[in-house]
Amino acid sequence: HKCSTRDITTTIMTAFNGSLMGMGNPLLDISADVGQDVLDKYGVKMDDAILAEEKHQPIYKELVDNYSPQYIAGGATQNSIRVAQWIMTANGKPGQSAYMGCVGKDEFGQQLEECAAADGVKVHYMKDESTPTGTCAVLVKGGERSLIANLAAANNFKPSHLETAESKAIYESASVYYIAGFFLTVSVESLKIVAEHAVANNKTFCLNLSAPFIIDFFGDQVATALEYADYVFCNESEAAAYGKKHGLGDDLKEVALKIAASPKKNSAKPRTVIFTQGSESTLVACDGKVVEYAVEALAKEQLVDTNGAGDAFVGGFLASLLAEKEVGTCVDAGHWAARFIIQ
């Protein structure tokens, strides 16, 4: 599910009356298979995601020059929204999703817009004329991946963009909102505008904790966002990082229950916490109970790479949530989408 179309000339600019809105960091993934030497050179580890520092800046050129990389429309939230829309379209519900973020006025930004449009997602990007579109180095080794994000323009999203007539039409129409934790480094104020609207109108707000560094270094921002969340997603390494930081122990079921029971703005509905654990069972905590959902095993030779598995899981889950399915069915749809993406 990797877009390389160049023939979409127009994004449909009709009034949005869909049900799903995402907001996040639109990034073009520069993906390549690399050796351990590259991981060591840049001091990164597998299955991690970090923001690029000065020492990481040369990697983008190195991948382009030496590795014949794939260019893939990325950004965690945008990935999930595209997968959700892809599934909804297959189920006879096109045009249900919209996505916002900030890109540069350049070819990469254009490519991201075309990829989203090809999947039927309405994009309403803020465009920064002075900063290039963000990129993410995806280092693939032995089926696992390590991400180094250079946010660039994505870092410049402003709450003022949500004041445009088109933005208001999008978030007023939507009933489910999804924002990955990566956006917490960019604009908590923008997140709050959307989340406050969700609470005031008893709509559904979903958050992903996204990466251990978000939990470790942006704790206040996570705490702010968490109060709005009706659904919280993360993987086992993020769950462990949250448990460690907040002294909740290392039993992930307990961590899930404690996140589910933490303070919440909208008391009309309980919080549901979903921990994915790769090929291990997915944990779902709500109302003081934890349920485990087994993941169907995938033969090692069928696994291409795990990049995007977590995003795809959320996309599948959201598509089922919007179809008003119960949580177990939503988890099954998430597992199916993740399995599809990694092959």
Q: So which residues are the catalytic ones?
A: 311
- Residues paired with 135 in a beta bridge: 28, 150
Q: What angle do CA 213, 218, 222 make, to 5 degrees?
A: 110
HSE, side-chain direction, 13 A CA sphere, residue 246: 22
Q: How far apart are CA 96 and CA 83, in angstroms?
A: 12
| DSSP states along 51-114 | E--GGGTHHHHHHHHHS--EEEEE-HHHHHHHHHHHHHHHTT-TT-EEEE-EEESSHHHHHHHH
- 77, two tokens: 């939230």
- Rg of the chain on CA atoms, in Å: 19
In one-letter notation, the amino acid at residue 85 is Q
**Strand 272-277 vs strand 231-235: parallel, antiparallel, or unpaired?**
parallel
- 136, two tokens: 């993410």
Q: How far apart are CA 266 and CA 273, in angstroms?
A: 15
CB 124 within 8 Å of CB 24: no
- Residues paired with 280 in a beta bridge: 277
